[in-house]
């Protein structure tokens, strides 16, 4: 009998999160994804994943809330029976120069992008420790490695996420749980599609491979790290950036 694994993806209704959810579904995993407010996008993603022939659940939750994360994890286990893969993808941006950045812009990004990951790992680790298995994959950014003008809050959160990844990897390794992070570079999205050609061309010139990445390329790495083939990889920060960060690290 084929026993499907269950993957939980936070922020899985759009963008990279959606690509990850769909790719994991194509690999035969049951899917639970969280979203915050866009019911229409969540429903479209739900239907698309359902067409892959797996069980799927969309759950409205703010990952920055400790209690909402607990409900998300509890509901996933109740509906699916387990959580084998956790992908911490939910994140926001509130860009501004440090001299203009408001305290709430800094705090909100830290709460969602950093504390949200702590909340999810905290709750899911109890389940994975009992199972003596699990894959935790954190979606970071090369900004956490190289910094960026106007993104001191985002860079701080993503750099902190790298510390969480390495520390959790050491804590959970003895029970067969791996923890890794993926740091995407400039990835094709609704946001990048609206950029002026002049600005986009300047960014592409900074990428050794000479092109913008695709969400599927991030999703493919998630699938590998979630697989048995990656069972000896943990505590790593892997860039998917066409070489963009090479000269800056």
Displacement of CA 185 from its chain's centroid (Å) = 13
Q: What are phi and psi of 205, to 5 degrees?
A: -65, -25
C-beta separation of 11 from 37 below 8 A: no
37 phi and psi angles, rounded to 5 deg: -145, -25
CB 69 within 8 A of CB 119: yes
State the catalytic residue, choosing from 66, 154, 199, 232. Answer: 154
Assess whether 66 carries a catalytic annotation.
no
Q: Please, are residues 220 and 187 in contact by the beta-carbon 8 Å criterion? A: no
Contacts of 176 (CB under 8 A, 6+ apart): 132, 133, 134
Mode of pairing for the β-strands spanning 30-35 and 237-240: unpaired
The catalytic residue positions are 154
């Amino acid at each position: 009998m084929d026993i499907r694994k269950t993957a939980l993806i936070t922020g899985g209704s759009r963008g990279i999160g959606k690509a990850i959810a769909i790719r994991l579904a194509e690999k035969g995993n049951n899917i639970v994804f969280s979203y915050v407010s866009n019911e229409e996008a969540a429903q479209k993603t739900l239907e698309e994943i359902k067409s892959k022939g797996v069980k799927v659940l969309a759950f409205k939750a703010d990952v920055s809330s400790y209690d909402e994360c607990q409900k998300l994890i509890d509901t996933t286990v109740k509906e699916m029976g387990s959580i084998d893969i956790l992908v911490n993808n939910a994140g926001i941006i509130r860009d501004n120069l440090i001299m203009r950045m408001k305290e709430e812009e800094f705090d909100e990004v830290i709460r969602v992008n950093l504390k949200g990951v702590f909340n999810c790992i905290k709750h899911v680790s109890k389940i994975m420790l009992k199972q003596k298995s699990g894959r935790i994959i954190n979606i970071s950014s090369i900004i956490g490695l190289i910094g960026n003008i106007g993104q001191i809050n985002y860079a701080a959160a993503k750099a902190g996420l790298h510390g969480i990844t390495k520390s959790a990897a050491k804590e959970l390794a003895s029970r067969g749980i791996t923890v890794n992070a993926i740091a995407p570079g400039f990835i094709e999205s609704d946001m990048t599609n609206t950029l002026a050609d002049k600005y986009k061309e300047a960014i592409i010139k900074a990428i050794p491979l000479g092109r913008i990445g695709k969400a599927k390329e991030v999703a493919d790495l998630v699938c590998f790290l979630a697989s048995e083939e990656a069972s000896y990889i943990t505590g790593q920060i892997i860039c998917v950036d066409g070489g963009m960060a090479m000269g800056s690290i």
